[in-house]
Amino acid sequence: MISPQNRTTKPLSLQKRLVKRMMSSPDSLRRILNLWPPLRASGIRITEITADASYAKIVWNRTWKNVNMHGVAFGGTLFSMADVMIGTLLQRRLGSGFEVWTRSASFQYLKPGRNGVNIEVELSDELVEWVLHTIEEDGYCNVPYSCMLKNPDGEVASISHQELHARPRGGGKRTARPKHASKPRGYILEHMATAIAWAAFSETPETLTTLLSSMRRMPSQAEQLRHVCAKAKEEAGWDDAQLHKFGVPGEYLN
């Protein structure tokens, strides 16, 4: 008779074997993910992963079983397309001595996701080197990453913003004063942009609404902050000193 304990441990050991097989090569990773029941049932298919795991393309294939009442992709399906691959690719590039987790994520739904909606994920050598260097200095690295999901005609359907947490496997040792936390990145830039927009244009709701709407269509949080700072200077008469009070680094004021 199989005990309850054995029932739980056997699937876990199978899962560990599958994960090990997945990470053995990019092609194995692609093939196993394409058979993974949650992705397969949703119509999500990884069509390409390069040999160095620096690039991947994911496509959603529509069937009558995976559409919502409007005949387009569920929002959760689009979210999953980004979530499944960004951390997985980074994990592969860093190597078996590291682990990567999704720390936080936000998603902007701009247009319906139609048959063939796709996402391209690319991790540059510079990004990977920065992550490894930061882990060496601080013991971990919170990695911001943004990407766009596009319909077959090139129309942007959604924008995904994620922050990944990369660290040595098992946790590692963190420094008491992490250096990479001294510079705003990712969501911090977006929060700065939102705060400045409200402070600069709270008396002109129509301008504020238009500005916030344009922000959510921008593919990176750095672009959001630059855009809002420029608007505050051009239309609200702000100067650099006022923007510095919000902690905006000089590189976003030009």
Superfamily (CATH H level) for 22-170: Hotdog Thioesterase (3.10.129.10)
- Sequence-ordered strand ranges (E) for 110-246: 118-122, 141-150, 156-168
Kindly list the domain boundaries of the chain, sorted by start residue: 22-170, 187-252
- Return the higher-pLDDT residue of 179 and 161: 161
Neighbours of 120 (CB within 10 A): 14
| 57 vs 105: CA distance, rounded Å | 20
What is the percentage of the chain residues whose pLDDT exceeds 70? 91
Q: What is the pLDDT of residues 41-73, one digit of tens each?
A: 999 999 999 999 999 999 999 999 999 999 999
Region 128-149: what's the mean pLDDT?
A: 96
Check if the beta carbon of residue 163 is closer than 8 Å to that of residue 178: no
172 three-class SS: coil
pLDDT at 5: 46
pLDDT at 3: 43
What is the percentage of the chain residues whose pLDDT exceeds 90? 82
Write the single-letter amino acid at 6: N
